Homo-oligomer: A and B are copies of this chain.
Amino acid sequence: MYDMILAHVGGHISLTEEEEAYFTSLLSTIEVNKRSFLVRPGALIEHEYFVVQGCLKAYYLDESGDKHIIQFAVENWWVGDFDAFYNQVNSRLYIEALENSTLMAISYNDLQQLFERVPKFERYFRLLVTNAFISLRGRVLSSLEKSLKERYLEFCMAYPNIEKRVANYHIANYLGASPESLSRIRRKLVKSA
């Protein structure tokens, strides 16, 4: 059950068996049904989540009620509202399952304990959040200058095979495009493949 998360951690830091056992003792397993919510605005966020199986979207409704998808999460991704989690403020996000999903959850207090007892995890999360920062900044730069086709191809690289799991209009929303424009581009790419 813990194989996937331990393999992911092991790709960044080396743990002893005792450290693995301690880490997994802090995790709880959560099942979220398709179309159910893991996080809703206004909630205090006590956990971060690692996706073992499934697919979720994190989004935000603006004042006019328009939805903005800011992240998809599939196997081996961490998902949560980091702002609300780290600053212990209320969430502004929705995180909704697009498929029946299995997640590992770690609480804020347990994570602080983990950092104290196994400081190597500072490194693991430093590497993860550095990558997340770099990719978010890359996404901002791409939105300034790249065509929708280029941004769609970057998206397919970042989320391999997700285009078969997530509806076209969700991907279009994430890319800040209309579903029609994205469909046109996807049809052209299929033809030229």
Q: Which of A30-38, A95-103, A118-126, A184-192 contacts B (4 or more CB under 8 A)?
A: A118-126
**Cα–Cα, bound, A70→B144 (Å):** 11
**Cα–Cα, bound, A83→B126 (Å):** 14
- A40: min CB distance to chain B, Å: 16
Complex contacts, A144 vs chain B, CB 8 Å: 60, 62, 68
State the majority secondary structure of interface residues on A: helix
User: Copy number of this protein in the oligomer?
Assistant: 2
Is A177 an interface residue when CB atoms closer than 8 A count as contact? Answer: no
Q: Which of B64, B115, B140 interacts with A70 by CB under 8 Å?
A: B140
> A82-B130, A126-B125, A130-B86 are known contacts. Are A137 and B70 too (CB-CB below 8 A)?
yes
Residue of B nearest to A141 (CB): B60
Complex contacts, A133 vs chain B, CB 8 Å: 82, 129, 132-133, 136
Is A92 an interface residue when CB atoms closer than 8 A count as contact? Answer: yes
**Cα–Cα, bound, A126→B68 (Å):** 27
**Do A119 and B123 have beta carbons less than 8 Å apart?**
yes
Q: Could you name 7 residue pairs across A and B whose Cβ atoms are closer than 8 Å?
A: A60-B141, A70-B137, A86-B130, A123-B126, A126-B129, A129-B129, A129-B130
7 A-B pairs with the lowest CB-CB distances in the bound complex, closest first: A126-B126, A62-B145, A122-B122, A133-B133, A122-B123, A83-B134, A129-B130
